[in-house]
Structure 1
Amino acid sequence: MHKRGPTGRCRRLSVALGLLVSVVVAMTAGPTAAVPPAPPNPSDSEIADAGARVDAGVTEVGALINQVGAVNQQLQELDDAVARKREEVNKALVDLQNARDAADAAAAVVVQTQADLSEAGTEVARARRNFDEFATQAYTRPAGGSMVTYLSASSPGGAIDRSQLLGLVTKNQQQVLDELRRAQIAEGNRNSSARQAKSEADAAAALAEQKKIDAEHAVSAAKAELDQQTVRRDDLLRERDAAQGRLDIARADVAGLQSQRAAFLAWDERRRAEEAVIRAAAEAAAARAAVDQAARDRAAQAGNGRRPHTQLESAPGPRQSRPRPSGPSVHGSQAVEIVVDRALSQLGVQYAWGGGDEDGPTLGIRDGGVADSHGDFAKVGFDCSGLMIYAFAGIGVSLPHYSGYQYNAGTRVPVDERARGDMLFWGPNGSQHVALYLGDGKMVEAPESGDVVKVSPVRESGIMPYAVRIVT
């Protein structure tokens, strides 16, 4: 399991300072902007020989386009199913840690009330001993010079006065005993309530533990299905590659290699422009994030005392030195830019399922399926919800490590009214994926195993009808 410590802080600093390298990695590892794959770039001799072949294959092109579209739809459905199973395990882990925290708190109350009850019993016993000693001395051993001796007159009047004084002292002592007994009863009732609360918290923790076990069993059961889906996915990919190859040939026949050359030159110019814009934005974001000590302090406070997401054992979580904030400590456009800067500062950092916290990338965890096949458990990086935790921690917001819970973390706005700094979600109740909207149709995300944190065009297919706005 990944542990926070000085080595993690050094690693995160090196990620921020090494942004130029990470941007290059992001550019080479996969598309980082709304630029399509490169079209063919024919040679001059191929263009010269293509004049006679420009009229062939128009009907086949339309059929191939439809075939590729159908295959892509099947692949998207498989990817959605895998995303749901991954995030269900995240949900079970969060629920388990919350239940354990409640059980720990209830146990602490039981211990305190038991100590208070013992102290109350001690006070009652001490008061009773003092009263008994006073009564014994008053009636059996009057001492010279004491108040009892003073009142031990031989006359009837003196005896009455002595009796009245002793009765008054006895009454006051009895009142003290009664008050102590009432306090003892109250502490006993409080201890009983605390024990009931602990019993309920223990039951909730046991239920959460069972849910964790069920989630682990679900992952094991899903592995067989994922194996079958992987075989089907490979078949679909081969079909898609074959269709794309035929489509490329048909396009060459229909449009002519000359138009392909023009398309390639236009594509290359657009790619260079997009990469220059992203590189400049990423460099500026990394520079701001690297020097923004206030954001790092807010992030540290947001993660203060949080039980690590990957901690599965029942050990107590870290102690909180200060209370975690419940909402953003920075507002407006300044807060939006801090969140965006922190997300963009991680471009090129590899995907690791279950990875990421308020301080930066962390070691991933096993899922028994696709993430394991990519070795995510041995990588230091982010998954989709982990990247959101890191981005928003810079303004003092602590998010849970599950996209479905993040969907309920702020104010929902219609997705068509989304603004820079809003979170976008996919899947039922946001349970499959989450990304940060940058504006102009782009978002930054940690997409899937084998990929890296990158800027992508917003995918409208399957997007939830609402975006979530944390910064107001």
Structure 2
Amino acid sequence: MRNNGEVGTRRPALVALGLLISVAIVLTAAQAGAVPPPPPNPSDGQLSDAGAQVDAGVAEVGGLINQVASAEQQLQQLDEAVALKREAVNKALVDLQDARDASERAAASVTDSERELAEATTKVGQARSNFDVFAARAYTKPATPTMITFLAAASPDTVLDRARVLAMVSKQQQQVLDGLRRAQITRGNLNSLARQAKSEADAAAAAAEAKKADAEQAVAAAKVEADRQAGARDTLVKQRQGAQTKLDAARQNVAGLVAQRDAYLAWDQRRRAEEAAIRAAAQAAAARAAADQAARDRAAKAAEGKRPHTDLRDEAPQGVHPQAKPKRDPAPTMPAIGGSDAVETVVDRAMSQLGVQYSWGGGDENGPTLGIHDGGVADSYGDYNKVGFDCSGLMIYAFAGIGVSLPHYSGYQYNAGTRVPVAERVRGDMLFWGPNGSEHVALYLGNGQMVEAPQSGEVVKVSAVRNGGIMPYAVRIIT
């Protein structure tokens, strides 16, 4: 347990320490709530690796593009070859059809010539038979009706005339027969030619059939090769698409990392600007607080006769008459000053402690003090061995400058002044969290910001007001 005399002698040193710490603020911690949380900041190595991935992707995609282009060129050549071979099939089909038509015409010609030859042969035979019959009758039956007019006379002249007539008829019949025989020979020659044409047409048809089969086989082979090449091309296209997808992802990754870096730099610039503003405000507040002897006097008076927060002894504190009852978190007093000057005195005293470490149970009217054991989280941070403030201790120090003595418990501080709707809060009001303000308290600065001693492991800092769990009322001490 601390000695009251030691505490008393350490007060000026602790106050001076608090003012010095406020000038040398732990800016990163102090600004955690003043700006949004930092966005991701990719390292130079990450950006370099991402760029290398893009370069590798570009090379891979470029190579695949060239391979696909080559494959497509080969495929086009194969398509042209297939088209050429298909047209060769068409030519073979036309030639085959022409050969078949010629064969059919030759077959028809053979048939016609055979018919005509048969008719000529029949006519020759019929003419020869008719002549033979006529001649026989003329010599053996001279009195036949057909010759009766010429052969009835019995004179030599008549007989001679008869011979002449027979010779003339015979000659005519022979001429007819000769003509028929020549026609028969002609038909025979034509038949022979028709048969030869038929044979040639059949040979041409067979050759055309073979050419058709060869052309179809060539088309099939070309089609197989074209299909193989198309499959290879499709594989390359898929590989190219996959590589392009990876390249796009790599580019997006680079763009995302660059965007993150830009966002981080913008955030860092804002952070630095706000840090500078907070540093200036803290230094100004520290200077004003250090120069405000009246506020220190009021704070010292507010602390008179009060037993330290952690002092549980029965005897009276040093400097207090044994018969006098020590003050222990008395009811809040009225401020010794009011108006905007009082508000700025309170704010200056709180802001002058920016960067002072959190210490559970620490802080009183005169500045930061050693913390106390809590048997848990605060002990794990060594708060009992740190000089600093907890949330309510910071409020005690801030308001002591205007002569107000507050109890060292946020729940009691919630009842220390006039409650106003939290939406109507103004600079210098206290904000509370938890049932009846039992969890946390902070001093509102305006513009959505507050100064607080947050929790073990942190420092007094400026934060954005957290609306989650905030009490519906703020407490106003200065009217």
**TM-score (normalised: structure 1):** 0.54
Structure 1, residues 358-398: CA drift from partner, whole Å, max 9, x if none? 00111111111111111111111111100000000000000
Larger radius of gyration: 2
Indicate how the Cα distance of structure 1 residues 422 and 254 shifts in structure 2: closer, same or farther if over 3 A, else same.
farther
Figure out how many residues of one structure are paired with residues of the other and give that number: 276
Whole-angstrom distance in 2 between the partners of 1:51 and 1:428: 55
Contact 2:347 2:445 in 1 (8 A): yes
Indicate how the Cα distance of structure 1 residues 288 and 41 shifts in structure 2: closer, same or farther if over 3 A, else same.
same
Which region of structure 1 is more displaced relative to structure 2, 274-283 or 25-34?
25-34
Contact 2:19 2:290 in 1 (8 A): yes
Q: What is the 5 A alignment of 1:208-287?
A: 253=253, 256-287=256-287
1:34 matched residue in structure 2: 35
Letter in 2 for 1:40: N
Equivalent residue in structure 2 for 1:367, among 346, 360, 374 = 374
Structure 1, residues 152-189: CA drift from partner, whole Å, max 9, x if none? xxxxxxxxxxxxxxxxxxxxxxxxxxxxxxxxxxxxxx
Contact 2:359 2:456 in 1 (8 A): yes
Equivalent residue in structure 1 for 2:402, among 392, 395, 405 = 395
Answering whether residue 14 of structure 2 is matched by residue 11 of structure 1, we say yes
Whole-angstrom distance in 2 between the partners of 1:451 and 1:317: 31
Report SS of the residue matched to 1:425. strand
Report SS of the residue matched to 1:444. strand
Which region of structure 1 is more displaced relative to structure 2, 260-269 or 454-463?
260-269
Q: Please, what is the CA RMSD of the aligned residues?
A: 3.0
Letter in 1 for 2:284: A
Report SS of the residue matched to 1:349. coil
CA offset at residue 46 of structure 1? 4.5
Whole-angstrom distance in 1 between the partners of 2:453 and 2:296: 21
Whole-angstrom distance in 2 between the partners of 1:35 and 1:279: 18
1:60 matched residue in structure 2: none
Whole-angstrom distance in 1 between the partners of 2:315 and 2:254: 67
Contact 1:366 1:372 in 2 (8 A): yes
1:289 matched residue in structure 2: 289
Contact 2:357 2:388 in 1 (8 A): yes
2:116 matched residue in structure 1: none
Report SS of the residue matched to 2:463. strand
Whole-angstrom distance in 2 between the partners of 1:17 and 1:367: 28
1:428 matched residue in structure 2: 435
Letter in 2 for 1:389: I
Structure 1, residues 59-116: CA drift from partner, whole Å, max 9, x if none? xxxxxxxxxxxxxxxxxxxxxxxxxxxxxxxxxxxxxxxxxxxxxxxxxxxxxxxxxx
Whole-angstrom distance in 2 between the partners of 1:50 and 1:266: 26
Contact 2:31 2:271 in 1 (8 A): no
Whole-angstrom distance in 2 between the partners of 1:266 and 1:30: 15
Letter in 1 for 2:316: P
Percent sequence identity over matched residues?
66
Contact 1:407 1:425 in 2 (8 A): yes
Whole-angstrom distance in 1 between the partners of 2:9 and 2:410: 29
Whole-angstrom distance in 1 between the partners of 2:345 and 2:393: 17
Whole-angstrom distance in 1 between the partners of 2:297 and 2:459: 26
Report SS of the residue matched to 2:445. strand
Contact 1:411 1:468 in 2 (8 A): yes
Report SS of the residue matched to 1:326. coil
1:112 matched residue in structure 2: none
Letter in 2 for 1:31: A
Answering whether residue 353 of structure 2 is matched by residue 350 of structure 1, we say no
Whole-angstrom distance in 2 between the partners of 1:427 and 1:28: 24
- Structure 1 residue runs of 5 or longer lacking an equivalent are 54-248
CA offset at residue 255 of structure 1? 6.4
Contact 1:353 1:364 in 2 (8 A): yes
Contact 1:34 1:442 in 2 (8 A): no
2:388 matched residue in structure 1: 381
